[in-house]
Structure 1
Amino acid sequence: MKVFVAVTIALAAFFASETEASKKYVKLLPNGGNVPNVPAIGHTDGTGDEDATNAFGDAFAEADYAWTKGLCEADSDGDGQTNGQELGDPCCTWTVGGTPLWSSGVSNPGDASSTSDSSLWANACGSSTSETPETTGSTTETSDSTSESTTAPADSSTEHESGSESTPADSEQTSASSSTNSTSSGHASSSTTSAEKCASDLASTRARALRASN
């Protein structure tokens, strides 16, 4: 009888210690004590009365009983939702003593049949605006290309106008040169004619003088 009583007391003490341990661990997890009807989310029985742990409980132990980013981003029960999404910390930013993004609608990360409504974290981490810089960069490159295309014809037009303006000046210079040459030729011809006339007059005067002397 005494042995039976001793065993009963030992078992009671053991379960009490397990329960206390479960309560301690609950505080180390976001919404650790808010999962409906599951006071011990790391145990297979969900109550902590048995020491057997589920996949989430094993992962929690491997993380040295800490809510790490790796544990948060993992999907321990393989239901398609991360542990953080199921416990109200989809962005994995919760720390001990903090307040999760939500406390109602959480699910058990150690039970694949227990899941949360995905709308709870649809816009929680700002993923909808993460691609905006790429779009902006693409728009900037397009604008630069357009500017280069617009500038090129303008340069060509300027060169064309410059070439067109130089043509009249060249023509005027050529005309001036031709006029100068023509004037010079005219002066030369006039000088030659005057000299020939003077020589002819002198010859005639000498001839008359000779006839008079005879």
Structure 2
Amino acid sequence: MGNAIADGFVYHNLKDADDVNGTKVYIALVNGGSIRATFSRGQILMGNISEAQPFRGTLETIQLQGKYLRAALEHSASLHSVSKPDGGFLQVSGLRVKYNLNKPVNQRVVDVQAICSDCNIPKYEPLNNNKMYGVILTNFILSGGDGYTVLKDNARQEHVVGNLDTDAFAAYVRDMSPLYTAMEDRIEFVDDNYPCGISSGLETTRTNYHTILSLLFTIIYHFHC
């Protein structure tokens, strides 16, 4: 569910971009506590979407240096607990993250791959601590909610999208339906015994995410031609 909502943020921004620079926001962060319901198989109504995202947060885009994005993911790792889930744990789009929760605090992010923002064809590359990345997220975590002061203190505000997360996700559901769910390795937990990782078990819309990447390539091609 979190993956689909994060994909919806990216899709919403890509679809409504005014120019090629506006499309270079390939990463979304969603705090798990903002998601309060899931969908059952069948018709999805606006009421179902409002139940899933009842807080109606405002979407904003920022530029964030890679080292601070990594620090935000470290904070997310510090909040993860199987026995007592914390709403601050991040769901993502445009990232592939591996955590080792057996490592000390601030050393638990063992690998991050991010979609390249300046490639002709989008692909995943290792997160560069010195590079600036476009990120779309809600005003709640941007303002330091759930302890994300690293975002509040280091984000360079680009644009207040103004649209509500609920409306963005509703548009995504409408445009991408029917939704197909599958397992995807956006978030993995690894340790010394399982270096290849085990999935977090989150569902995602793999087919629809590939559609987003296709849309991204189309937009880039359109603005360059």
TM-score interval (norm. to shorter): under 0.3
Higher relative contact order (CA 8 A, sep 6+): 2
Of the two, which has the highest radius of gyration? 1
Q: Which has the higher strand share?
A: 2
Q: State TM-score, norm by structure 1.
A: 0.22
Q: Which has the higher helix share?
A: 1
